[in-house]
Structure 1
Amino acid sequence: MPAPPRLKIKIQIHCEDEIAIGPGKADLLEAIRRHGSISAAGRAMDMSYRRAWLLVDTMNRCWDGPLVQTSPGRSATSGARLTELGEQVLAHYRTLQDDIVRAAHGADYDALAKRLRSVPRSSQKD
């Protein structure tokens, strides 16, 4: 039996040409919250520290305050944490994702799915 049609909606919020937040950046924020550092969050996501740091840098530059606060060093207070704004942005983004997933399941999706082929034709003329 063929798999049911798949609907994928990806939310990206842009700040000029930069992606201020999207699914991967939201996942990174959650990993930073969980692990307490950018490097540990990056490792948990199979991402280099540099890539994780660049994503955090972009997020921190795109909002009216930083989403991630860092404290350098090796003390108990060193590492990274989400700011209050970071927690708020992440919560709003996840709620928006949930709302869109709920909206995507209904009569309009069902009507499209009913007309969608399980596999594409090899040519338009078939």
Structure 2
Amino acid sequence: MKQVRSRIWIEQEGEVFLGYGRVILLKKVAETRSISAAAKAIGMSYKKAWNLINTMNTSSSQPLVITNTGGKDGGGTAVTDYGHKMIEEFETLNKACEAFLNEKFNTLKEVKS
């Protein structure tokens, strides 16, 4: 069965705020509690991952990720409640977009066959 796939992203003032790759990064940060480990897990450099997170945080009204420097218990990174909400809302939007596109695709006759 043929299906339409699409990539969407959210921009702010012409710059990407949130998209598929950034959501994957946020989910890995939530899982690993580390920017370095998350970047490694998805095959991205630490510098790029840090830059993406920094861009999301500075473009947002609230931070999506917070970092804690080392100490007795070591450092760590956490996705904030707001960050989790952004992940959830982006995934909802992405699913709705794909559902809409597939609904429209199913009305076509020539492309479907």
Q: TM-score, normalised by structure 2?
A: 0.88
Aligned partner of 2:106: which letter? D
Structure number with higher relative contact order (C-alpha < 8 Å, ≥ 6 residues apart): 2
Aligned partner of 1:95: which letter? T
* Structure 2 Cα separation of the partners of residues 49 and 74 of structure 1: 21
Q: TM-score, normalised by structure 1?
A: 0.80
In structure 1, the partner of 2:110 is 115
> Are the equivalent residues in 1 in contact too, given 2:17–2:55 (CA < 8 A)?
yes
Gaps of 5+ in 1: 119-126
- SS of 2:40's partner is helix
**Alpha-carbon distance, 1:103 to partner:** 1.9
- Indicate the percent of aligned positions where both proteins have the same amino acid: 32
Aligned partner of 1:43: which letter? K
Q: Report which of the two structures shows the higher radius of gyration computed on alpha carbons.
A: 1
* Structure 2 Cα separation of the partners of residues 10 and 75 of structure 1: 42
**Alpha-carbon distance, 1:117 to partner:** 8.7
**Alpha-carbon distance, 1:37 to partner:** 0.6
* Structure 2 Cα separation of the partners of residues 88 and 97 of structure 1: 14
How many residue pairs get aligned? The number is 113
> Are the equivalent residues in 2 in contact too, given 1:18–1:58 (CA < 8 A)?
no
In structure 2, the partner of 1:122 is none
Gaps of 5+ in 2: none
CA separation of 1:104 and 1:117: change in aligned 2, threshold 3 A = closer
